[in-house]
Amino acid sequence: MKIREITLGSTGIRTPQNGFGALPIQRDDADTAVQILRRAYGGGMIFFDTARAYSDSEEKIGLALADVRNQIFLATKSRARNPRDLRQDLETSLQKLRTDYVDVFQFHQAEQCYAPGDGTDMYEEMEKLKAEGKICHIGITTHKIGVAEEIVASDLYETLQYPFSYLAAERDLDLVAACREHNMGFIAMKGLAGGLINDSHAAFAFMNQPQFDHVIPIWGVQRMRELEEWLAFMENPAEMDESVRQVIGQDKEELSGDFCRGCGYCMPCPQGITINQCARIGLMVRRAPSEDWLSEHWQREMEKVRTCIHCNSCSFQCPYDLDTPALLQRNLRDYEAILAGQKSVEDHLTLH
């Protein structure tokens, strides 16, 4: 069975429900990124999401895909907070992407739902860019559920980009359903919950449900082997069944309550603490290959948690209302216990 195609709300964009999130290719060298992007296109992906803020991600996309520009959809975004910078960002994006239009142009990480007449002129500038043919559709991304709900209710946007995975809370599910009712495309970022979900089969099967036929997940891809996992679903899409339900049920149980999604919106920290990893390292050690997280580098990073001055700037900025300093201390204790456990196992192995 082939993967299904979805329509991204009122944009009319038709795409296999398997999008490419181009944030991680920043960390690849240019040759590797180009190979990955070409393979993604060759394997059937046609929806690519990037951002002005993702350093050279746009440039790599331009390098890899300029010759197939009309066969693909490009979504990018700007963190500009005034109309002049918004226009300038788009011009830069167009140049880097080697194109004269983007399919979806999004306000990046919006703190508010820009609307005509709100005094910012931001929405008006988007409309001008659209009238000039430089962008086809107006989109917006946010991490704040209240802002996201306001955006949907406004009916001003054709797409909303928001974190969405099978760990979604009831309110998030309602948001996705509301988008569908408003004929709005939903671009799902963090479909693996920032690395906490390690089962791509279950993650894909969750999206591949009838009620999400307006949702395009943009899987973040840095390595060819990750890409191949997603491409395998093109011919053989994972579906929701009893075994997937069990995986999701177990993960929800393990990850219920307050946990850090790793988004990094609380950073930078004045003490240089890598909050978006340190506040969830206990989970990562258990769920991702632990040697990486137990390395000297991460031991040093966790040491920094002790220097926290409890200024609370992180918890103030956390879109999930987490008590971040407390979470960091909890993870530090957890981490120390894991390290101590590991040492005792190593001692045991040495003795025998």
Residues that bind ligand SF4 (CB under 6 A): 260-266, 269-271, 273, 275-276, 279, 308-314, 318, 320, 322, 324-325, 328
CB of 315 to ligand SF4, least distance (A): 7
Q: Give the residue with the Cβ less far from ligand SF4, 17 or 331.
A: 331
In the complex with ligand SF4, the residue whose CB is nearer, 6 or 260, is 260
DSSP result, 113-128 = ---TTSSS-HHHHHHH
The C-alpha angle with vertex 161 and arms to 159 and 166, in degrees rounded to 5, equals 125
- 336 versus 347: smaller Cβ distance to ligand SF4: 336
Given a contact cutoff of 8 angstroms between Cβ atoms, the answer to whether 101 and 133 are in contact is yes
CB distance 234 to 18 below 8 Å: yes
DSSP for 267-330, written as a single string: PPPTT---HHHHTTHHHHHHHS-HHHHTSHHHHHHHHHGGG-----HHHHH-TT---HHHHHHH
DSSP 8-state class, residue 111:
S
Query: Which is closer to ligand SF4, CB of 201 or CB of 330?
Result: 330
Q: Which residues pair with 131 in a beta bridge?
A: none
**Which lies closer to ligand SF4 via its Cβ, residue 160 or residue 281?**
281
Residue 267 CB, nearest approach to ligand SF4 (Å): 7
Closest CB 197 distance from ligand SF4, rounded Å: 15
Q: Which is nearer to ligand SF4, 140 or 327 (CB)?
A: 327
In sequence order, what are the residues at sequence separation of 6 or more whose Cβ sits closer than 8 angstroms to the Cβ of residue 294?
285, 338, 339, 342
Nearer to ligand SF4 (CB atom), residue 113 or residue 275 = 275
* Cβ at position 55, least distance to ligand SF4 in Å: 20
Q: What are all long-range contacts of 119-123, with beta carbons under 8 Å and residues at least 24 apart?
A: 120/82, 120/83, 121/82, 121/83, 122/81, 122/82, 122/83, 122/86, 123/156
- Nearest distance in Å: CB 109, ligand SF4: 11
Question: Residue 55 or residue 312: which is nearer to ligand SF4 going by CB?
Answer: 312
User: Whose CA is closest to 90, among 44, 122, 43?
Assistant: 122
Q: Which of 338, 269, 280 is nearest to 304 (CA)?
A: 269
Q: Is the dihedral of CA 199, 222, 65, 228 positive or negative?
A: negative
Residues 122 and 86 sit within 8 Å (Cβ to Cβ):
yes
Shortest Cβ distance from residue 319 to ligand SF4 (Å)? 6
3-state SS of 324-348 is: HHHHHHHHHHHHHHHHHHHHHHHHH
Quote the least distance from Cβ 334 to ligand SF4, whole Å: 15
Closest contact distance (angstroms) between CB of 174 and ligand SF4 is: 20
Taking Cα atoms as reference points, which of 119, 127, 189 lies closest to residue 156? 127
C-alpha 315 chain-centroid distance = 20
CB atoms within 10 A of CB 114: 23
Minimum Å gap between C-beta 78 and ligand SF4 is 21
- Give the nearer residue to ligand SF4 in terms of CB position, either 190 or 214: 190
